[in-house]
Amino acid sequence: MNYSESNSQAGEFLRLTLGFLAQHNLSATPVNYTVWYEYASGKNLKLRQAIDRILEKKLPLNNNHVEALYQKFISDGDRVVISRLLTKLNLMLREITTYVVETEGDLSTHGQALDSLADQMTDIHDYDDVKNIINQMLDTTKAILQSGARLQTRMKVSSEDLKQLHKELEVSQKEARTDSLTGLTNRRGLEKRLEIERIRARQNNSPFSVIMLDIDHFKAVNDTFGHLVGDSLLKGFADIFSNLVRRNDLAARYGGEEFLILLPETNVEGAYAVSEKIRTLLCKKEWTLKDSGKRIGQIKASMGIAQYKLGETGNEVITRADKAMYQAKSTGRDRIVIHSDLNLC
């Protein structure tokens, strides 16, 4: 889980990473940095092979392409954040253990508890594991405060540091599951929410549906007005979804100009009604450049709908919505297609 390279190695990987970002004219976002750092370190073999193939073929590598690589090959995408948190935890644990060793009497049992926590840190896999360690450390520091008055002032600092780290963990979790451009949930967050809805659907026998949406002629917008305008358009679509969906619905950026809306406890008819609201709003909206007021015109979208079938995976329901969306694009765009209306398996 942790990066184990020395400081000199880490420095070299950092130098290479920044060089790759500059070479491919990429912004220094967390996603771009993580992908190229893993490429430079050589620890993610599949990612390295995929990028090497792209470079050999001289294919483009823009921000969207790198994000796709991140989603596909960095299955443990949270590990950069978790590694940083574990470094702080280890430093705190070492400091607390030193305090305990310096004392005498009935604090020896707490020293054993701290040693056990140190052992547990070698097998951390996700945010829940980190939360568990933090909670145990908080409990132990409280017990030490009660047992050793002499350490109270020094231990209070560590206890407050742990509480602050707990807050950082919550923020990091949210950031790791949020698309940095639009502020919507990213694919990682979507996958976790889909799993929750699958469990709920099985337990309550209640339907849920997904809408896959792709912005029509988005490449033409980028080519004509530039990628900054394209990014602004993506943010505009994200705002539309955020204002339209219910509190328990989930709007996510699926990748590039594709979005996915998850509608719990909603059948295909309900999903169609939401899609029609989006389509109608887009038909009435005129997009303009914010700075100059230059008219871009109407930007519409193609949408595909699928209702979850008990027993299928989250990827399977998304694939069905994706097929319906591509049918909408291939039959004229600016339309909504329901997967169950297709003659597809």
Mind listing the pLDDT tens digit for each residue in 14-39?
A: 778 888 888 888 877 767 877 888 88
Confidence of residue 137 (pLDDT cuts 50, 70, 90): low
Q: Of 130-139, 248-257, 293-302, where does mean pLDDT reach its minimum? A: 130-139
Per-residue 3-state assignment (H helix, E strand, C coil) for 30-84: HHHHHHHHHHHHCCCHHHHHHHHHHHHCCCCCCHHHHHHHHHHHCCCCCHHHHHH
Mean pLDDT score, 134-155: 59
What per-residue confidence (pLDDT) applies to 2? 40
Q: Please tell me which residue, 294 or 125, carries the higher pLDDT value.
A: 294
The stretch 291-303 carries a mean pLDDT of 89
**Does position 345 have pLDDT exceeding 50, yes or no?**
no
Q: What is the residue-averaged pLDDT of the chain?
A: 79
For the stretch 304-317, pLDDT in tens is 999 999 989 999 99
Query: Torsions phi, psi of 278, nearest 5?
Result: -65, -45
| Mean predicted confidence (pLDDT) in 110-117 | 59
pLDDT at 93: 57
Rounded mean pLDDT, 236-247: 93
Alpha-carbon distance of 67 to 55, in angstroms, equals: 16
Whether 159 and 141 have beta carbons less than 8 Å apart is answered as yes
Q: Report domain extents, the chain.
A: 7-77, 80-176, 187-341
Q: Considering only CA atoms, which of 194, 342, 177, 328 is closest in space to residue 261?
A: 194
Positions marked active-site: 257
CA–CA separation, 220 and 233 (whole Å) = 12
**Average pLDDT, integer, range 319-341:** 94
Q: What is 187-341's CATH number? A: 3.30.70.270
SS3 labels along the chain: CCCCCCHHHHHHHHHHHHHHHHHCCCCCCHHHHHHHHHHHHCCCHHHHHHHHHHHHCCCCCCHHHHHHHHHHHCCCCCHHHHHHHHHHHHHHHHHHHHHHHCCCCCCHHHHHHHHHHHHHHHHCCCHHHHHHHHHHHHHHHHHHHHHCHHHHHHHHHHHHHHHHHHHHHHHHHHHHCECCCCCCECHHHHHHHHHHHHHHHHHHCCCEEEEEEEECCHHHHHHHHCHHHHHHHHHHHHHHHHHHCCCCCEEEEEECCEEEEEEECCCHHHHHHHHHHHHHHHHHCCEECCCCCCEEECCCEEEEEEECCCCCCHHHHHHHHHHHHHHHHHCCCCCEEEHHHCCCC
Higher per-residue confidence, 19 vs 251: 251
> What is the predicted pLDDT for the residue at 3?
47
pLDDT at 30: 67
C-alpha to C-alpha distance for 157 and 344, rounded to whole angstroms? 62
Question: pLDDT class for 102, splitting at 50, 70, 90?
Answer: low
pLDDT band at residue 106 using 50, 70 and 90 as cut-offs: very low
Question: Is residue 110 pLDDT above 80, yes or no?
Answer: no
Q: Higher model confidence: residue 263 or residue 176?
A: 263
Q: What pLDDT score does 240 carry?
A: 95
What does the pLDDT read at residue 63?
84
Percent above pLDDT 90 for the chain: 35
How confident is the model over 65-76, as a mean pLDDT? Answer: 75
Q: What pLDDT, on a 0 to 100 scale, did the predictor assign at position 1?
A: 35
Give pLDDT, residue 69.
85
pLDDT at 281: 95
218/145: higher pLDDT: 218
